[in-house]
Amino acid sequence: MNLLLDTHAFLWWCQDHRRMRGSRAAGAIADPSNVVHVSAASAWEIAIKESIGRLVTPEPVESAVARSGFLPLPIDFRHARAAGRLPRHHRDPFDRMLVAQALVENLVLVTHDTRLRRYGAELLRV
């Protein structure tokens, strides 16, 4: 299975958050037969939240991604076009980009946000 972590799912994984422990999503992330991606959109969202004092992380995103064995997923023109064409079910631009990437790349989006189901992407709930 090819997974894309929503920003909060990535942070929860890195922090061994109680919501992640024992979940089906955690099992899928830990399964070595699955490929796990973290989007540049998540790095961007984390950087913004850090700059305004809403988040503190112990290490840079790229270090945490590499340490976890995940793959970085850049944003390309196909993703941007798909995000722009999504219906307005959700206003968060980062979540819209993650949904677009999941749809374009045929990835399962690991998230706690059930509102994203409306886009038709395959979700694995944390």
Q: What is the DSSP letter of 112?
A: S
Who's near 22: CB < 8 A, 6+ residues apart? none
Residues 69-90: tens digit of each pLDDT: 999 999 999 999 999 999 998 8
| Residue 123 token pair | 């979700």
The domain containing residue 84 runs over which residues? Answer: 2-125
The span from the CA of 6 to the CA of 25, in Å, is 11
Element (H, E) at 48: helix 40-51
State the Cα–Cα distance between residues 111 and 124, nearest whole angstrom: 6
DSSP β-bridge partners for residue 36: 3
From 16-20, 71-75, 106-110, the region with the lowest mean pLDDT: 16-20
DSSP of 11-42 = HHHHHT-TTTTT-HHHHHHH-TTSEEEEEHHH
- What digits encode the pLDDT tens for the residues 23-67? 999 999 999 999 999 999 999 999 999 999 999 999 999 999 999
Provide the CATH number for the domain around residue 29.
Answer: 3.40.50.1010
Domain count, the chain: 1
